[in-house]
Structure 1
Amino acid sequence: MKVIGVDVIRGSVRSRSRRPSYAFVLLVDGEVLEETEVTQFRLLRRLAEERPDVLAVDSVQELAADQRELWDLLQGMPPGTRLVQVTGGERTESLAQVAGRYNLRFNRLSPHDEARTIARVAELGAGAEVIAFENTSRVTVTRHRSPGRGGWSQNRYARKIHGAVRRKAREVEAGLAAAGLRYVKQETRAFGGLSRVVFDLPVPPGDLPVSTYRGADVQVRVNGKRLERIRYRPATGRPRYLIVGIDPGTTTAYAALDLDGNLLALRSSRQITLADLVEELTRIGRPLVVATDVHAMPFSVEKVRRAFSAVPFTPKADISVEAKIEAARPHPCSNDHERDALAAALEAARHYRNRFSNLLRRVPPGYDLDEVRAGVVRGQSLEQVLEALRDRPASRPPPAPPSPAEAIGEDEERVRLLEGQNKRLRTLVRELQDESAAKDGEIARLEARLRKARSRAAASVRESAEVAAREAEIQSLRGRLRREEKHAKRLKRRVSLLRRHEETRLDPTGVPVKVLAAFTREAVRRLFETLGIHPRDLVYVAGYDGWGRTTVRDLADLRVRGLVLNARSLEGVDPALVQLCRELDLPLVAGGEVGVEVSGLIGRVDAERLARAEEAWARGQEALHKEQQEAMIRGVLREYQTEREKEVRRGG
């Protein structure tokens, strides 16, 4: 396996006065063959000469200033070369953390040492591959020179160029047909031949029998179809190992830690089944240890453990409630079930911590510590694990790209789906714009035709039924065009609002809100048509004067997360509104308590302040339920006393 690792020494791709220089390390099958210093131009030349399997960096921002430059860089790389960011994809970590996972040490002040470490961890399978193009290609055959402005030989000159384009296009088409590739061809005819031929193919550029070419009269460009957003795919298909704590029961909770004891996931649900639990854990990683907080492992947890062939862990005695509270104190838990699952996972991680620390001193550099720790936990000796890893072939890219659910997390999958939806909406807008442009052209042609008819016989044509019909048709087309333009504007505005809403949703410090202009059913209907109102949406009520019970019940039926009123606090709010929301179990908070920021129909609130306000509302609900129960008990008691008095009177 041939890997090139680079790290910037001086300069920056964003600087116009000082272009970057890189520390360059060529690593072939684990052996360093060359270490030198190169410029960015020289780096691209070396990539074309060496054609490595991987170009490894600790940050793609050292190679490209923006997404456009990154596209150009990936387009110019050899087809078989992958760009790998060893510090991760969307969620990055430091190079020291990545190197520590393979027990490697390096001098952080030496760019050459960093480049050597980057190449080694990339060869071992660390990091994420940068994906910028879809698995489609476009081959474009065009003129390489202009026919000129004129002259006696211009026609002969143009025929020569256009004939060369046609001949080259036929050669390209023959090559694609010989390779058995399907394609869609578009031709632009010109004097003496063709001026432009485009082939669209459903395969990546690296699988094409055609390459970029520049001749005297004709040129061939091979481009991949760009993604709307740069994506990252794990360089290896191996999932990370997990220590999982499970608390079964009516409400099932699980906590997933990595082998270093860092919390990766914590969740509980009443509806989750064992199959759903296995699927969610598979999405997070590969459970190595399955733990519980009781000495005897429950049967349902045992079934999950067997599904992954994981190592069981149970404490010597049931973990006490005080120990669970103390262990889970640094982490926020929604309920006791999550606390118990987290305590079980942390107890298992604590059990293996000393053993992992001893391994860190004994494992030589260049081995994946997670694989070593997994082998030791399964009962193998350190020598057996190292021997097995030594015989394992070098890390190679997976034979096929993983499915989206395996390659990216749940949040990234949601973003990908929303990007696809936005892309479809943009396509719809473009189609409407093209249709509007076609109608504009049709109207222009009809108007020109009408002017010619008027010039020939202005008086008679004006009185004819044909002209009246055409004028009516033109008016109808104009009205239809105006309606289509308005519809296109509405779609653009809705796409913009949805994009802003999703950008706010991805911000961990804020929670998006949808703005309700007035507390009326008509305002609710308009908001539903514009942005949609979905379960768990947070609605901000800009003006709540004149509120109605039906409107509040409609919002409660939509199962929104809660209402944020345009008020400093709930003290000045109509008590009837607060009482109705209490009865409907619809959280009601004041905008002054959660820090509302509104821009049009979209806004955001501070996530921490919202959580505190929701907790205060929940405490009020508990107090209300308690008062209702006490009132009910007092009523039953009074009724019982009344009945007893009646019985005493009758008996006395």
Structure 2
Amino acid sequence: MSKTNANICVLGFDISNQMEKLYAIVLICDGKLISKIENGGLEKIIRLAWDYNVKKVATDNIFELAPNVRELKRIISLFPENTEFIQVNLNDEGFEDFRGILKKSGISTFNLTPQKTAYYLAYLAYTGYGTSLIKKQIRTKIIVRKNRSYGPGGMSNNRYKRKVRVTILQITNDIKDVLDKNNFDYELLYRKSGAGIDGAIFTVYTPRSSLIGLIKPRQGTSVSIEIKNDLVISFAFKKEKKEDKPIIVGIDPGLNFGIAILDIEGNLLYLGTKRSGDREEIIELIQSYGSPVIIAADVKPVPDTVKKIASKFNAELFIPEESLSVEVKREMAFNALSGTSDISLDSHMRDAYSAAYNAFKTLSKKLKEVDEYLLRTGLSLSSRKIKQEVIKGKAVSDAIEEELKRILSMERENKVIIDYKAGARDLEKKLNEELEKIKKENILLKAKINKLYEELKNKDKEIKLAKKNVQLVNINSSIERTMSVLKESISELNKQLEAKNLDIKMLEERVKEYEDILDKLVKGEYIPVPIVSSLTKSNLNKLLEYNVNLIYVENPDSYQSDIGILLKNKNIRGILISYQYSENSGIYNLLKENGIPVVSIFEYDYKKIKDIIIIERKVLDKIKEAEEKLKEIEKVKEIEKFEKIFNEYREKRRKDR
């Protein structure tokens, strides 16, 4: 088959030689085998993808291409833009055993070599199996900067620099006018310097072809304009949806983004600087912590980038009455963060935190009113939801009424509102209390119904007596109306009784679920494991006060370089994560050096309850197996080290003779 005539080509690969980084490669075009290679390098996979315009690259582990996300993005950028990367063993439910997929498809798993695996991967992807892992966005970068040469002799160096900076500013304004006139969505980052700017970077959310004829590249003696396509790659790994909690975000935009994220109680959730970060990356980071109700800046007027991010989230834009001075921001950050020893602030982090904290401080009086009202009245309402509405501009009284309205609406839909407490035992206790309360209400309702039935019987007697002794139609009509009212009351009470019975059933099912969990914990079939969002000292210090030897990490790509030593000193036996992880990744190697294994839990039964997971005890066997493997590796290293020293010593003795 010729390369140009192939309509749909799919390439499957599987690692065949881990040490030399070689792959078994199979290429299928229109369902026919075109090429199979037993041991080929990554460069061969890329070349075939271009030669045959490959539509899909199929794998059962995308990290066989690279040990980490950063390197993986670089490699993927070398493939054709329209190439999809398919993880065959991933679907909407999560990861699936590859051999199990083959068995379901009627394919034998006997003697499954890398070559066979590559073929089956390509074949299954061709027939529609798997999930596309990669999202691509084509944008355009326009870079305005000074050239390295500082120009002709005879002109003062400082004067020439000023002239170049003013020229860059003029060119930047001209490009901005063109983009605004043509309604392009873009980001502008620049660094001010005196009366001009040192350089500017436009990120325009459109392909390069859309700007042809509007903005042209330039290579002048002092200033250049570079225009290039910018391919942004992100991964579509399925993540468990986190609680959509309201947050306050402070942003300091520029060539480096400062970002601070607080919850609505003023607690710091994130503080950092993104080097050369763009808007989409910042939005993705913010979304991982919750739903912003306020986006704040530390200056007035507010930068366009901050406005666009606030618009993206439909969040309130907090504008200070006047720009915060450096002295005020330093004092604000020092007072608020003085007890946080492991945070080292740069100016971007300081400004972002000051923006967020200033917004919280401005609103804190109203938020405090919510807590005081609930404490004073004893109303069992969600303070977080009420505060969220207050932040959006509602009066405290209106926000409370809105929450009451929401609860009443939920009750009409036969839903029970439960104030969850930490841990399964507290939750079970709360559910049982609610259950007992509803049972008592049931008894009262039944008593009331019985009373109404008695009244109905008495009215029946009165009717019979009236018919015998009274001939007046008016009296008879009045009694019938009374009976009708009583029957309606009974009917309404019966409906309430049915609703309460449904509530009881729902609560009993919930209680049973948590009783099962507690039973498995007591029997030792399951074990509790605490959860941390990432491997940082601030996250771990709270946990390590308790006697824990396993930790579940939600984001293993985020860690501090010296965290392995801390985990080893605290006798942590292993780290659990939610998906398969490459053994050549940064965190894997870091923890391997300290004898701590990283184990995926996707093949075990587990359930998340607030800040812990309850997981099958047999995960400990996997941890033990991984520990033994690490010990064997370390033992081999020691032997090799000894042999090296011995050989060096023997060689030295030979030379001395």
TM-score of the two chains, using structure 1 as the length reference: 0.37
TM-score of the superposed pair, with normalisation by structure 2: 0.37
